[in-house]
Every structure is written in structure tokens, then in C-alpha cells.
Amino acid sequence: MLWRVGDKFLHVTRLGTIIMTISDDNRIREIVFTKVGSEYAHYSSVQVDVTIKTNSLQGRFSSVWFDKLSIDRFLSELKQLDETRKGEAKLESMSPDECVLIIKNIDAYGHLGVIIKVRASKGYNYERQVNFHNLEIGFEIDPTSLGNIQAELKRIK
């Protein structure tokens, strides 16, 4: 559920759920990270479900792990991107190639775009080779949304 509070949106979901949402201006395309677990005793990390929605498809990838150091680095890169509108911020999952989220400058005018690449192993085919489901989408985002993205990700970590 989405509530508008002044000029900001507040996400209200089931009790205890912490989410980060990245969407286009019309909320037609959306990437949602939902925190489902964490590990702080051995290796500081968080577990999220990644939901991707567009006007033509919807997908959910379960149990993607990100380590705290990668999240902190991504937050630092986001802050720099927010201040300069140059470069990119990149967040990669602990498992190689499982999930990559990139927010980057897309032109000389400071416009920003997001790209997400997710890959899930779905068992074996008849030749005993691993089957992978791959999804990659990208879209433009409002540069003023970086503050909300940073705040929501800080709550997830």
C-alpha cells in the first residue's frame, strides 16, 4: 500500500516488512527489494526478495544476499552520484552474477537511469546442465528520488 505524505510516498506493507522501491515517474516500472532476513554474527549481510514489475512483465527472485560492505559502498556511490550527477553506483549480490543493480548518469543533463540484472538457477535440464532464468531491465528515474532510495536502503541494512 502506498500513502502520500506531503511530497513523499510512504510504503506501508505487512508489519515488520522493510522495503526499498525504485520506480519511474509514472510507477509503471518498479524494482522492489523486500528484506526477508539478515546475518550479523558471522558475516554481516542481508537477505532480500527482488520484485521487478513493468507494464508487460512481473518477476520475483527470492533469497538474494548482499553483504554490508557492498551496501555501504553502494550508499557512498549513490551519495556521490546525487551530488555530482556523474558516474554510477553499483550494488552486487554476494553470489556472482545473481543480482546487479546499477544507477547511473545517462546524459550530459544529469538524467539518471537504473539497470537491474538478475539470474536464478532453476534446476537441471535433460542434459544435466544448470538452467538459468535471466532478466535485465532498465529505465529512467527521477534524480530527486536518490534521497529516498538511500534512506530506504539504510533501513534494509
Which tens digits make up the pLDDT trace of 37-67? Answer: 998 888 899 999 999 999 999 999 999 999 9
CA distance 130 to 144: 41
Give pTM, 2 decimals.
Answer: 0.84
What pLDDT digit, counting tens, does each position of 81-104 carry?
A: 999 999 999 999 999 999 999 999
Please state, in angstroms and as integers, the Cα–Cα distance from residue 54 to each residue in 108, 112, 122, following that order.
Answer: 26, 18, 22
Total of domains in the chain = 1
Q: What is the CATH number of the domain that holds 141?
A: 2.30.31
Residues of the domain holding 93? 2-156
